[in-house]
Amino acid sequence: MAGEPGGPARPRVVAAAVVPRRHGPVIKFLGEVAAAIGRILVRPWNFRGTSFVFQIQQTGLNAVPIIVLVCFLLGGVVMQQGAQQLRNFGAETLAVDLLGILTLREVGVLLTAVMVAGRSSSAFTAQIGTMKMREEIDAMRTLGIDPIETLVVPRILALMIVLPLLVFIADMAALAGGAAMAKLYLNLDLPIYLQRLNGAVASRHFFVGLIKAPFAALIIGLVGCIEGLSVTGSAESVGTQVTTAVVKAIFLVLLLDGIFAIFLSASGF
């Protein structure tokens, strides 16, 4: 500000805003979720069972039709394309081996995780973000209710339980689509198809896909809830965080699948 009229001008002092830096928000949030689960184990009566069952229905049961349809069609496409390419070598029946191993190890879990990321991660962000925008989460903290225990833990636990089940359903749907295409395109009867599939696929291929599912579910749930809690006080922020949550979840799921694929292949599993 200037000084008195005719006197020397005083220097203007501007206070710089201090912006807190966020170090490792995902790791920090994972720690908060783990601590909340620990508190629930100590005081199990605080667990929101109704919310947990509702999230199982929303993330699991309601996702079954679209997962079955997409995986059935994809299994038929993989079978047709594999048989088409292998026919040049007179080995079109090896398409059954290709479909079985590829579906159980990679396609089933990857396709399911991507679809669940698009459905559930965006839903988590929109639901929690809307509550954050309306200041409902601040009201919960004022009343002594932990938002992590109430909103985050039931969603993540439900997703970690239902995703392996959805992967199993996706595997069966893809193999059923392959069986239908094998009958139409190769005139391969179902008993012969199953016999060929049984000889080509080992149990370890099935478990490789299931091992990835809980980790993918954890990533999807964490990303969706983190982005929901990052919403500011506008509807535009909700839309932005929903888009960010879907993109981040799909990218991290693909990255996780690649890391698992390299590690398990190198270990001979």
Over residues 129-148, mean pLDDT: 85
Per the domain annotation, does 10 fall within a domain? no
Residue 250 has pLDDT above 80, yes or no: yes
Cβ-based neighbour number of residue 241 at 10 Å:
24
In 3D space, the residue among 112, 123, 159, 158 whose CA is nearest the CA of residue 257 turns out to be 112
* pLDDT in the model for residue 112: 92
CA angle 211, 111, 116 (to 5 degrees): 85
* pLDDT in the model for residue 67: 93
Q: Three-state SS for 38?
A: helix
Number of domains in the chain: 1
Per the domain annotation, does 14 fall within a domain? no
- pTM, 2 dp: 0.83
Q: Treating both helix axes as pointing N-terminal to C-terminal, what angle do 64-86 and 153-186 enclose, rounded to 10 degrees?
A: 40
Per the domain annotation, does 19 fall within a domain? no
Per the domain annotation, does 134 fall within a domain? yes
Which range marks the domain in which residue 201 is found?
48-262
Distance of CA 173 to the CA centre of its chain: 19
Q: Which residue would you say has higher pLDDT here, 102 or 46? A: 102
For residue 209 the two structure tokens come to 């896909």
Phi, psi of 23 (to 5 degrees): -105, 120
Per the domain annotation, does 225 fall within a domain? yes
Q: What is the pLDDT of residues 177-193, one digit of tens each?
A: 989 988 888 888 888 88
Phi, psi of 40 (to 5 degrees): -70, -35
Q: Which residues contact 64 (CB under 8 A, 6 or more apart)?
A: 166, 169
Per the domain annotation, does 32 fall within a domain? no
Say if CB 182 and CB 75 are below 8 A apart: no
